[in-house]
Structure 1
């Protein structure tokens, strides 16, 4: 006998998990769209610079033009996102990115773009991201609650990483087939489509912001929240160093080692692909695993991030390097999900974007400096020595973070319901009372992820 089809009253969408609400689905879909476009566009930007006659130094200038405004405007972006509805900030940032990438695409497709033009347009794109990132993180955290928040964050990150891998592969193929201009145009269209999706986000569940004392007062309040939690500022300080060292290894030393000792760009591309697969595996693992001591588990997961630098220092062959990159990818996702879960649990909802902005700022502030100093460090110490130094420093700063009691003891908060202990949902206890107890809690990952 045939099983009757689902009735109109029980559509397939009603079978989705309880934690996958409307806002969560819209945010995940929009993030996948923008990651598909952006990862291809990053490659296209470099090729657009080179095709216009630029050299490696020009490529670096255009890349820096994106990072500098991202760092400069992050704190303001976080304060703005906690002051007005976050989805409006996200849509406005997407609109700015749509315009900047669209103009960039037109310049590449119709003529010979000048270096200053490309730097200006990528700077506008970085400015948009500075306002978007804190708003998006706050919006995501306010869209989930209950027992399965870790699973929700893990699935979101898995979707983002999967789209990023696909976007890089598709972008590379399209650049070869039709040129970088069309890839930039696709990225502009992706921002427009994602912004349209985010315009439908529902913020009625978020309490209206009380009138504050101005932007500076909001920034000061966010700073007090940030420095008042030793686990928070110590891990962000750790990641300011970790992200800087990993960034220099991957953007400078990795391609050089591949060119000089591994046979060219292909082995490095394979290693990066294995890192991407590792992030997917790590996110899948964290969908099923909910460690009680989230920050402790997450911080222990940072140690393997030193492996790629060590593998490049030897250097290992493509098999060994790919294995190191894979393990590193898994590890960063273990930390990432743990970190996001902790922020969700510990930071009051109305301060999420400001705290996220301090997190982003601290985690990325040293990245331009580290990439600029990678060459001089190689000349001064030698490439292998610089890479061994990076690996050692990652291990040392991570070990130092474990000395912070809150990092070791913060647990997934629980409450008694009907005589049984169950995880608490929501986005955190009140500010000064949310200091970790020695009962049970969990963190999430963001610094530099």
Structure 2
């Protein structure tokens, strides 16, 4: 598969507009995380306050993810995504205005991020569930790689630009750009037409839909094992890289710009690996993916042993490459093996399990750093990340899950693969 062959999927009108929506959204979001972190640090230097603001986004997102999955499986996913995008545009615009005018207080940012997190809980399951509706199964790999390529390309400059804006004119302007991106993302979804979903059988309640989704997840070993692993990995990444990391960078030789360069390097690693994956097929997507995730432990280890700008940039690029391998492998495993009518619920359970403990990391890494020192906490996190990944690969259903070979004319429906 070449780059030209991958781009062919954009000729599909509906996927093309969906791609454009994701493109502009990622462009703004690539700056918002760093902008928000240092916006909070403009109000207060407290790592605990930053953790509270970040957790304010994550907690309601986790709480409402299952609701979002049910909604996205019961109602048109495009409509669900548009409403979420418009709501997120409004909350980011208000946050940007407060920060730019100097009127922001921590409690205000907490409230706004809580609303934004709730909207994200509606958007994520709908967004992931739309992809297998818009493209044939034979095009899932190029479609996912194109989405990942746009994310990688845009986030190369985004964090560094955000850092420059923070230093030059303040963090609010990056959030203002993110608000505009959310608005454009909603507009670009207007031309998208999704194939009608025939719903057969008796109508069920939302609770019954949740139970059905849970039954599927717990009976599919490779799914719940990987989700369980990421429950811990994401907790460490959220606490270490979103909370303790920026605080440590601000007071160390890394600095704000060094931290932004590291984030951009991660995006470069993602982008380079995206191009590499366009020329290969992941025969065992989960095995390759979890081995790739072991590389996420390297930035922690570098911060723990050698917290300098150049080593940090290098290991973040390597980690980005590993993240991209997992991202493609996981998307292919889910989109090929989970039935279409279950897609959003399966993604919501995946996200719930992966994100549910993130607030713990966001709230605890600041105090852990103060108690034990930042560098020992980073080092322990890196070692634990690598051990968890290797243990996950050792699970037979994870290691042995293969791509499903399909003829070019085959449609999108398929029976789910079970253990």
Larger Rg: 1
SS at match of 2:281: coil
Hey, what's the Cα distance between the residues in 2 that align with 1:88 and 1:119?
A: 27
Q: 1:44 to 1:322 in 2, by over 3 A?
A: closer
Hey, what's the Cα distance between the residues in 2 that align with 1:16 and 1:303?
A: 30
Hey, what's the Cα distance between the residues in 2 that align with 1:387 and 1:46?
A: 19
Aligned match of 2:272 in 276, 281, 298?
281
1:143 maps to 134
2:324 maps to 333
1:31 maps to 22
Q: 1:370 to 1:381 in 2, by over 3 A?
A: same
2:3 maps to none
Unaligned runs of 5+ in 2: 1-5
Taking only aligned residues, the RMSD between alpha carbons, in angstroms, comes to 2.8
Aligned match of 2:225 in 219, 234, 239?
234
Higher relative contact order (CA 8 A, sep 6+): 2
Q: Deviations over 1:20-47 (max 9, x none)?
A: 5222211221111112222333334345
Please say if residues 19 and 149 of structure 1, whose CA atoms lie closer than 8 Å, have aligned partners that are also in contact.
Answer: no
Q: Which deviates more from structure 2 when the two are superposed, residues 111-120 or residues 123-132?
A: 111-120
Q: 1:208 to 1:85 in 2, by over 3 A?
A: farther
2:108 maps to 117
Hey, what's the Cα distance between the residues in 2 that align with 1:316 and 1:174?
A: 24
1:435 maps to 418
Q: 1:374 to 1:73 in 2, by over 3 A?
A: same
Q: Say whether 1:190 aligns with 2:181.
A: yes
Q: 1:384 to 1:62 in 2, by over 3 A?
A: closer
Please say if residues 163 and 256 of structure 2, whose CA atoms lie closer than 8 Å, have aligned partners that are also in contact.
Answer: no
Could you tell me how far 1:219 is from its partner in structure 2? 0.8
Hey, what's the Cα distance between the residues in 2 that align with 1:250 and 1:298?
A: 21
Unaligned runs of 5+ in 1: 1-14, 416-421, 437-449
Q: Say whether 1:73 aligns with 2:64.
A: yes
Q: Deviations over 1:378-407 (max 9, x none)?
A: 455544433332122212222221232211
1:218 maps to 209
Hey, what's the Cα distance between the residues in 1 that align with 2:70 and 2:403?
A: 28
Could you tell me how far 1:116 is from its partner in structure 2? 2.7
Hey, what's the Cα distance between the residues in 2 that align with 1:98 and 1:262?
A: 35
**How many residues are aligned here?**
416
1:409 maps to 400
Q: Report matched runs for 1:68-107 at 5 Å.
A: 68-107=59-98
Q: 1:392 to 1:271 in 2, by over 3 A?
A: same
Please say if residues 69 and 126 of structure 1, whose CA atoms lie closer than 8 Å, have aligned partners that are also in contact.
Answer: yes
2:368 maps to 377
Please say if residues 55 and 362 of structure 2, whose CA atoms lie closer than 8 Å, have aligned partners that are also in contact.
Answer: no
1:393 maps to 384
Q: Which has the higher helix share?
A: 2
Q: Deviations over 1:319-377 (max 9, x none)?
A: 33222211111011011101101111100011111000111111111111013222343
Hey, what's the Cα distance between the residues in 2 that align with 1:109 and 1:389?
A: 38
Please say if residues 245 and 390 of structure 1, whose CA atoms lie closer than 8 Å, have aligned partners that are also in contact.
Answer: yes
